[in-house]
Amino acid sequence: MNPKVTFIVPCYKLAHLLPDCVNSILSQTFTDFEILIMDDCSPDNTPEVAATFKDPRVKHIRNEPNLGHLRNYNKGIALSRGQYVWLISADDYLRRPYVLQRYVEVMDAHPEAGYIFCPAVKVRNGREIETLTVQSTKDSIFDGRRFLKKLIFENSIVSASGMVRKTCYDTVSVFPLDRPWGGDWYLWCVFALTGKVAYLAEPMVCYREHDLSMTTKLMKDDVDQCSREDITMPWTIKHKVEEAGCQYLVKSCLESAAYEYARRIATKRYKSANSIMTIDQFEESLCRSTSDEKERNFVRARVHANIADFYYWQDEVSVAREFYISAVRKDPWMPTVWLKRLLLISGDAGSWLRRTRVRLHQWVAN
């Protein structure tokens, strides 16, 4: 008889952290699961550590040779027998013993939901330091396409906190091999396009930040590739949205693309690394991404408006003024940009009004 849940635990050079992860799963109050330790030809003592788990639900699968993280994930998905699949790296762990019970109960009660997640707690040097990806203060079932309008602007789901209905992998997509950095973000988006999304407000998963994590490794190996993936993601999801006939979501994808471009141009940083994009490079990327001149002008106007916002908050007011003017020249039907420009030229009073407006917006959002 197949288990209800399959935990896929990728492991590469993480043998020293593997017990924390596996034991956090074995201590769950819901017990109908299997654990697949996906050892990607790890050069450390992962096989010896895996052999210490005597529970028959734990299976050690070693790749020879190394497959790379995405193929390793997909191999685990192909081997999984559970109705639900939870991919959690060996350096992360479940924070509460009842998390699986809660996840399964919600997913069983809402068969229209493709996946479920909760906030995660960042752990550094063994200490919990902050809570990540809080979506709401209460448990929720989000309309997937409405949630996608927010998700396309930022990957707001920590991968280790997500449990996915196996049919999503079977019928929609597994990890795309051309997205080593943003594969999980891509899947959260395309799954949201096809069903609802369940959310539990309690932080019940720990995400460990350290030098050997996959996130750190990818950023260190090729930060430019990571940046390119984030820039192309809105365009990729736009095509998926159009294929699904959800034309009303196209605008959100274009606005997300504009924000990503502006962030590279105005802040000259990506995550914690330098990643500079010039206006000419932006134009080249834009023209590669769409041949529709109306879409290009829509994005151009919002790129310039976002650049102005970035410069404004960096106290480079004169530069911000020029980009606000440029934005409304490209698209005069942006009342918010006109308002920002008016507040900017109003001096200290305008600055106070704008900052008060932002604080009120943040207060309402929280």
- Same domain assignment for residues 246 and 211: no
Residues 6+ apart with CB under 8 A from 137: 201
Residue 155 predicted with pLDDT over 90 = yes
Domain residues for the domain of 66 are 5-219
- Same domain assignment for residues 243 and 143: no
Residue 362 predicted with pLDDT over 70 = no
> What does the pLDDT read at residue 276?
73
- Average pLDDT of 218-233? 74
Listed residues 186, 219, 252: the one ending a domain: 219
Lowest mean pLDDT among 237-241, 286-290, 340-344: 340-344
Mean pLDDT of the chain: 92
Share of the chain above pLDDT 70, in %: 93
- Tell me which of 349 and 268 has the higher pLDDT: 349
Residue 222 predicted with pLDDT over 70 = no
Listed residues 175, 190, 219: the one ending a domain: 219
- Same domain assignment for residues 196 and 208: yes
3-state secondary structure of 39: strand
Share of the chain above pLDDT 90, in %: 81
Ramachandran sector of residue 245 (left: φ over 0; alpha: ψ -120 to 50; beta: rest)? left
- Average pLDDT of 178-195? 94
- Same domain assignment for residues 214 and 305: no
- Same domain assignment for residues 149 and 198: yes
- Same domain assignment for residues 28 and 72: yes
- Same domain assignment for residues 125 and 112: yes
Give the other-Cβ count within 10 Å of 294's Cβ. 8
- Same domain assignment for residues 168 and 298: no
- Same domain assignment for residues 279 and 213: no
> What does the pLDDT read at residue 249?
97
- Average pLDDT of 338-362? 85
- Same domain assignment for residues 157 and 35: yes
How far is residue 205 CA from its own chain's centroid?
Answer: 15
- The pTM of the whole model exceeds 0.85: yes
pLDDT tens per residue across span 29-88 = 999 999 999 999 999 999 999 999 999 999 999 999 999 999 999 999 999 999 999 999
> What does the pLDDT read at residue 356?
85
- Average pLDDT of 322-351? 92
- Same domain assignment for residues 200 and 255: no
Residues 6+ apart with CB under 8 A from 139: 106, 199, 200, 201
> What does the pLDDT read at residue 219?
53
Beta-bridge mates of residue 142: 197
Kindly report the CATH number assigned to the domain that includes residue 192: 3.90.550.10
Listed residues 197, 219, 241: the one ending a domain: 219
Total domain count for the chain?
A: 2
- Same domain assignment for residues 286 and 203: no
